[in-house]
Amino acid sequence: MSKSGTVYLVGAGPGDPGLVTLRAKECIENADAIVYDHLANPQMLSWARDDAEIVYAGKEAGESQLSQQGINALLIEKAREGKQVVRLKGGDPFVFGRGAEEAQAIADAGIPFEVVPGITSAIAGPAYAGIPMTHRAHNSHVTFFTGHEDPAKAESAIDYAALAKLGGTQVMLMGVERLGSITSEMLKQGVRSDLPVALVRSATTGKQETLTGTLADIAQKAVASDFKAPAVAVFGEVVALRDGLNWYEKRPLLGKRIVVTRTRNQASVLSGKLRALGAHVIELPTIRIEPPSNLREFAELVQDAHIYDWIVFTSANGVEALFDVFFKLYDDAREIGGVHIAAIGPATAQRVKDFHLHVDLQPDEFVAEAVVREFKKQGSIENLRILLVRAETARDTLPKELSALGAIVDEAFAYRTVPETRDTSGARRQLMCDGADLITFTSSSTVENFLALRLPWPKGMRIASIGPITSKTVRDQGLKVDVEARRHDINGLVQ
């Protein structure tokens, strides 16, 4: 009999991928199978292995992909196949998420399991809305309750009379649809009608919205503004502190939907900067980096890197590819000899420095023409041997111009940029259904491959380009560039 795998009940946090624990990310990265629900941000699936099995088991109000019994059976089945299974649940798996029921079923089946706690929206939602759970001047206790109880119960297990007497801060999860009846019951039990109340929707994401009112009018306001789940409700005097503590919803890009088309591995840098400004980021990778077609030829050039006068890196991908091969051939960075290094762009230069090497030439402009100008300033480069590390498909400006100046140029094709065919997070469907305000292009290949997907162009979606070469490709496709970065790198694009 084969050894059973382990099930990891992982808290996906309140929405922002940056708020998950290190342990949660580690579990996702190592999983053979991932079963996730609709409150788990699907962008986290980009951390999964390419060969991981991904199963959506979302349960939204009124409909579900799988019954709870079906989910339990699926987790047990995958574990009995010897797989490491991640059950990715929004918030914390043991806070109104039926994680306890899943854990019981797994334990009864004799399957090993682990619980990885997550930040619950019951705390994160109010915090991101500027509402503290406690304040010495207002309350000394917090109560959490659900507005969506087991429908099989004959009557509610929530003692609203006790809640009324208890006071303090009270937080309700999953009850927006029943807000009218719940607030009516609280009023009936003697809770004062002017008690401050706040509803926080899609907390910690670029879609976050907060609606405030009183116990008497919050339900009416929610209906009037079509305020829907997922949301948490906060009842108590601490809600009044929001006026002075509302920090997140003041961010400049809050509510803006921005598409990032970089590779899965590289998207996080740009996405993180945009999320920090409040944007709702849709990571829709259009390219993937793969080894070069002729890896042996590339390896031979890397092996002889020490014979060159200069190595020119055009991207961070080239740096990583070269040193990946280099350290399989040599165990000491000094084996690269006295070669000088040129790098286009700060990200490329930083990647070189990560290997404890000095960058001798870095142009202020991040284009091939600027490298040529910098070499001209160096004086004659006639008969200098230059190894140009680049993608298989790229402009031929550098090799042509450097050769014209008398240099002996060898092109080392370090990697291929190929179309990304996978969409594990459902980003394409999300773009088609919800649209976007802006799409970012960081290279010509991201433009070409996005258009090759033939997705309907969302109404009003504008284009931001990292620089003139990418912008030219956009215009060649008959599109308008609305924003072009003055500084042609990720920081420039964000600015």
Which residue numbers are catalytic?
A: 37, 59, 174
**Which pair of structure tokens corresponds to residue 456?**
């309907």
The CA distance from 34 to 53, in Å, is 6
The CA distance from 389 to 376, in Å, is 20
Tell me the β-bridge partners of 64: 59
Largest CA distance in the chain: 91
| Pairing, β 231-235 against β 196-201 | antiparallel
* Cβ 430 vs Cβ 282: under 8 Å: yes
**Which pair of structure tokens corresponds to residue 365?**
């402009």
> What b/e sequence results for 224-252 when a residue is b if at least 16 CB atoms lie within 10 Å of its CB, and e otherwise?
eeebebbbbbbbbebbebbeeeeebbebe
| Residue in 115, 76, 91, 74 with CA at minimum distance from that of residue 12 | 91
Within 8 A by CB and 6+ apart from 235, the residues are: 169, 170, 171, 172, 186, 191, 195, 196, 197, 215
The CA distance from 287 to 262, in Å, is 7
* Cβ 197 vs Cβ 214: under 8 Å: yes
**What is the full DSSP assignment across 209-238?**
EEEEEETTTHHHHHHHTT--SSEEEEESGG
Per-residue DSSP letter, 361: B
Q: Could you identify the residue written with the tokens 């503590």?
A: 245
| Residue in 269, 431, 419, 446 with CA at minimum distance from that of residue 464 | 446
Backbone angles phi, psi at 106, to 5 degrees: -65, -45
The CA distance from 212 to 239, in Å, is 8
**Which pair of structure tokens corresponds to residue 65?**
């992909």
